[in-house]
Amino acid sequence: MKKIILGGMFLLLAGSLTQAQDTPVYLDETKTIEERVEDALSRMTLEEKVAITHAQSKFSSPGVDRLGISELWMTDGPHGIRPEVLWDEWDQAGWTNDSCVAFPALTCLAATWNPEMAQLYGKSIGEEARYREKDVLLGPGVNIYRTPLNGRNFEYMGEDPYLASRMVVPYVQGVQKNGVAVCVKHYALNNQESNRHTTNVIVDDRALYEIYLPAFKAAVQEGKAWSIMGSYNLYQNQHGCHNQRLLNDILKGEWGFDGVVVSDWGGVHDTGEAISNGLDLEFGTWTNGLSNGTSNAYDNYYLAQPYLKLIKEGKVGTKELDDKVRRILRLMFRTCMNRNKPFGSLCSEAHYEAARRIGEEGIVLLQNNNGLLPIDLNKVKRIAVIGENALKMMTVGGGSSSLKVQREVSPLEGIRKRIGNKAEVIYARGYVGDPSGEYNGVVSGQDLKDNRTPEELTAEAVEVAKAADCVIFIGGLNKSRGQDCEDADRKSLNLSYGQDELIFALAKANPNLVVVNISGNAIAMPWVKEVPAILQAWFLGSEAGNALASVLMGDVNPSGKLPFTFPVSLEDVGAHKLGEYPGILRTDGSKILDEKYNESIYVGYRWTDKEKIKPLFAFGHGLSYTTFEYGKISVDKTTMKANETLTLTVPVTNTGKREGSEVVQLYIRDVKSTLPRPVKELKGFQKVKLAPGETRNISFTIDKEALSYFDDARHEWVAEPGKFEAIVAASATDIRSKVSFALE
């Protein structure tokens, strides 16, 4: 149970205090947090200080009972509040009131290209965490999409550092307004799940600062994140959870981070490095909770008795310890000791509405030949829905983001509910992927076993398709190991379970075929020319079916844009073309793999631009049920000084017959630079809703920062004088207007 301090008259009776006080300074809210931190720190014993730097259970760390300081409780996100587990184990605690609303995965949030949706997301999930008495939400994730094989990409915000930065800040702010800390993860360079504990990343400083760090920096400096989670992988031969360069030099030094660095569960490996290299709070070192003794496991953590022993033997000082404790106390006063935080709410209709709105706005219409979508129920009277993902629950599985939901509307259920009696809906399985539905004791309750052969399933699906006016195939990936799931990468870019062959067969059986891909990753589409309509639907959470049906039927005009590039093949991805993924095993017997990021800054569209590769679907791509026309971009001046800003304006008109939203994207090109630079880089975007015939002038303001690159030799950001080009686009390959200007 959590300790609750009521009112202003908390009487301290501990004999170790010199006197009892009605309002201790560290609880006195007339004092600043820093004053209360220093007061509490001065009262703590050495043993109490060491104790609060490590966990006491699977998801909690101790406070100080003697001083009335509350313990901290963590919970997994970032898509919903994880169900309660036993004190020392991953097994379910058996509660009946720990269900939640599952919000769409963060790839879907990024696909909205709408910071207002990120704020709504953070506010809503923060309210759920607060109601469940959680102090720290383990999320959001902002690792960059480097390879489409990464099993955990669905938890992140895409390939572009600017997009991820603009989306993470309002998420952080929305959560923390509830008195719940975010724990932004996984800092840093955790870009694959294969060999995630033993991969040493070798990356140049330009790529580090330009690609992999900006979203974390924005979360810290703009979002004011209260905690950060270290990563499993190594960088410069030190694990991310105790890494001098990442944690001390950059995070706490260059960025001035005043929060807590929390270890990932099982991410700590050495007491000395944990003391010196920036870790503050150690969790989950023995992830089963009980190793190294069933009664004293937590006392044996690296920052527990081993740390205390080194201090008492005079081998290390207490300077680092006091810094860790200050940070932890600061986190406590912001969260568990903050008596002015709101109460929160759980499974409210407002949260379900938020989940549905985010899902609807994140769905991406990739292809719509012949105007097949939206489905016209005046013309379509029999609809065939085919595919396992039409009914498989997607909130269970995937790793630590697995949830126990109050409800989850499947795509098939959502479609049937929306159509009602206006048309006949016939379902066929089509393929069997993973019929199970269990993770850490949470069971979906679905029985998806089907003993028919693939040939029998295909034959049935083809017959159903032939008899329908329209076919909706709902497939893609799932959250099973080797699909979109923690601790394992995908084996291939292609779909599993024979789906590609099935889609070819369905396209031959009925030309009115819609393919709905549910995934958090890009997939290969060898059938792309055979299928008129394709939707990218992500993992949409509790309201999945309702959100999808709204877009399919045209109740909602799709406005999502891809937050990452869909390549034709892995050969079109720099991380694979240049070839060391998933790492080269060292010959010294250490089991460490070195993974060199040979592509450097050329990730995603930066790579396809450089190599002149045509992607399957470009970064920023997404169609609508209406059309938009861009006018000519203009600038308020053709030359800007380093201390000035420049404003660009472009008129955008809805030239179609229905209301819709367009994401106007601004890219900047440095025409000539000393160091190699990408062909163009995203430096602005705005989502605008327009009525039919309406025109709006969209303005962007750019400054020196938008023109800068990181000079690794000088270790500073540089904006070189010279010519630049501002490019307004509807995607990374759909350029609408350009204008030149110069930096003096």
pLDDT, one tens digit per residue, over 344-368 is 999 999 999 999 999 999 999 999 9
Do 162 and 681 form a contact (C-beta atoms < 8 A)?
A: yes
Statement: residue 17 has pLDDT above 70:
no
Sequence-ordered list of residues with C-beta below 8 angstroms from that of 276, at least 6 positions apart, any chain: 242, 244, 320
| DSSP characters over 326-381 | HHHHHHHHHTTT-TTS----SS-HHHHHHHHHHHHHH-EEEEEGGG--S--TTT--
Quick check: is 584 in a domain?
A: no
Asked whether residue 526 is domain-assigned, the answer is yes
Residue 342 lies in a domain: no
User: How many residues are present in the chain?
Assistant: 744
What are φ and ψ of residue 706, in 5° steps?
A: -70, -15
Segment 450-474 shows an average pLDDT of: 98
Residues 311 and 257 both lie in one domain: yes
C-alpha–C-alpha distance, residues 512 and 639, integer Å: 53
Q: Which of the four pLDDT bands, split at 50, 70 and 90, describes residue 286?
A: confident
Q: Are residues 327 and 426 in the same domain?
A: no
Per DSSP bridges, beta strands 646-654 and 628-630 are antiparallel
Q: Is 275 a member of any domain?
A: yes
Same structural domain, 382 and 321: no
- Structure confidence at residue 429 (pLDDT): 98
- CA nearest neighbour of 75 among 131, 36, 113: 131
C-alpha to C-alpha distance for 82 and 131, rounded to whole angstroms: 13
What is the pLDDT at residue 23? 54
pLDDT digits (tens, 9 = 90+) for 375-433: 999 999 999 999 999 999 999 999 999 999 999 999 999 999 999 999 999 999 999 99
Over residues 244-259, the mean pLDDT reads 98
Among the listed residues 635, 679, 672, 626, the one whose alpha carbon sits nearest the alpha carbon of residue 653? 626
Residue of 76, 135, 264, 484 marked active site: 264
pLDDT tens per residue across span 174-200 = 999 999 999 999 999 999 999 999 999
Whether pLDDT at 6 is above 70: no
pTM: 0.96
Measured between alpha carbons, how far is 544 from 411 in angstroms, rounded to an integer?
Answer: 6
Residues 546 and 661 in one domain: no
Domain boundary among 538, 556, 574: 556
- DSSP letter at 524 equals -
Q: Please, what is the Cα angle at 267 between 3 and 588, to 5 degrees?
A: 165
> Is residue 499 located within the same domain as residue 640?
no
CATH number for 396 = 3.40.50.1700
**Residue that terminates a domain, selected from 556, 590, 610:** 556
Tell me: do 396 and 323 sit in the same domain.
no
Residues 524 and 640 in one domain: no
Instruction: Kindly tell me if the per-residue pLDDT of 5 is higher than 80.
Output: no
CATH number of the domain to which 143 belongs: 3.20.20.300
Same domain, residue pair 170 and 211: yes
Res 295: pLDDT: 74
Number of independent structural domains in the chain:
3
For 227-247, what is the mean pLDDT?
A: 98
Query: Is there a single domain that holds both residue 323 and residue 196?
Result: yes
| DSSP H or E segment with residue 548 | helix 544-552
For residues 537-545, give the mean pLDDT. Answer: 98
Map 476-497 to HEC letters: ECCCCCCCCCCCCCCCCCCCCC
- Specify the pLDDT at position 212: 98
pLDDT attached to residue 440: 86
- With cut-offs at 50, 70 and 90, classify the pLDDT of residue 25: low
End-to-end distance of the chain based on CA atoms, in angstroms? 62
Domain that holds residue 61: 33-334
- Asked if residue 253 is part of any domain, the answer here is yes
Estimate to the nearest angstrom the gap between the alpha carbon of 381 and the chain centroid.
Answer: 39
Residue 131 sits in the same domain as residue 255? yes
Q: Report if residue 26 sits inside a domain.
A: no
HSE toward the beta carbon, residue 354, CA cutoff 13 A = 26
The fraction of the chain above a pLDDT of 90, given in percent, is 93
Asked which of 498, 528, 556 is the last residue of a domain, the reply is: 556
Q: To the nearest whole number, what is the mean pLDDT of the chain?
A: 95
What contacts 402, CB < 8 A, 6 or more positions away? 82, 395, 396, 439, 440, 442, 479
Pair (321, 401) in one structural domain: no
Residue 258 forms part of a structural domain: yes
Q: Is residue 256 part of a domain?
A: yes
User: How sure is the predictor about 291, in pLDDT bands with cuts at 50, 70 and 90?
Assistant: confident
**Active site annotation includes 450:** no
Same domain flag for 126 and 271: yes
Nearest to 51 by CA among 424, 303, 379: 303
